[in-house]
Chains A and B, each alone.
Chain A
Amino acid sequence: EAQVTQNPRYLITVTGKKLTVTCSQNMNHEYMSWYRQDPGLGLRQIYYSMNVEVTDKGDVPEGYKVSRKEKRNFPLILESPSPNQTSLYFCASSPLTGRSLYEQYFGPGTRLTVT
């Protein structure tokens, strides 16, 4: 089944404790992206990647890191989480060619709480 998976789905952590949210897709998509969703603000892009070893900042990159060492994986790293990073996080992937161009496929989301 074609899908984007994220782990963990739920995470409660404390301020300053480094964490990683994993994202993996099995559709051989070149493009991957991380979003955060907060009430009333819609989806805001954190980072995106057009291909392996190519990453770029989105609208709200502060406090986050990403890496793209393999095509299928795009982990999101919070080196020192703070309470304002409490949010719902989504990973998405998209092909860069073909009929599904621009069409993003989303993971189920990771709800992060930082206390």
Chain B
Amino acid sequence: AQSVTQPDIHITVSEGASLELRCNYSYGATPYLFWYVQSPGQGLQLLLKYFSGDTLVQGIKGFEAEFKRSQSSFNLRKPSVHWSDAAEYFCAVAFMDSNYQLIWGAGTKLIIKP
């Protein structure tokens, strides 16, 4: 069965430090990959997506993610976090034969230490 794993429920990072949030998926077919962010009390906003081509994709708010097919991973990175990055981050994956359904990870809550 198709699944998406975000192994870290919470991550705490100091302001100004670098960040990496992990996302792994299970399935053999070529995926479409997404990262969404949910700020407190808000809906979900798309950060970035990967469909094809360059495996390093740039998104909004200074985020980037790298697709590694051999590791079935799509990790989200930011070189220097700001207090406003405190939010919950969701990885989602769609497959060409999945009838447009996104499969969601359980989310990683990012906590920023001052």
Measuring CB to CB, which residues of chain A are less than 8 angstroms from any residue of chain B?
A: 4, 31, 40-45, 48, 50, 58, 90, 92, 94, 96, 101-109
Interface of A is mostly: strand
**Ordered nearest first, which 7 A-B pairs have the shortest CB separation?**
A42-B106, A106-B43, A106-B44, A43-B104, A102-B94, A108-B43, A42-B104
Q: Are A107 and B94 also in contact (CB < 8 A) when A40-B106, A41-B106, A43-B104 are?
A: no
Taking Cβ atoms with an 8 Å cutoff, the residues of B that contact A are 9, 32, 34, 36, 42-46, 49, 51, 90, 94, 99-102, 104-107
Which of A40, A44, A103 lies in contact with B34, CB distance below 8 A? A103
Q: List 15 additional contacts besides A45-B101, A106-B43; criterion CB under 8 Å.
A: A41-B106, A42-B105, A43-B104, A48-B101, A50-B99, A92-B44, A101-B51, A102-B32, A102-B94, A102-B100, A104-B46, A104-B102, A106-B36, A107-B43, A108-B43
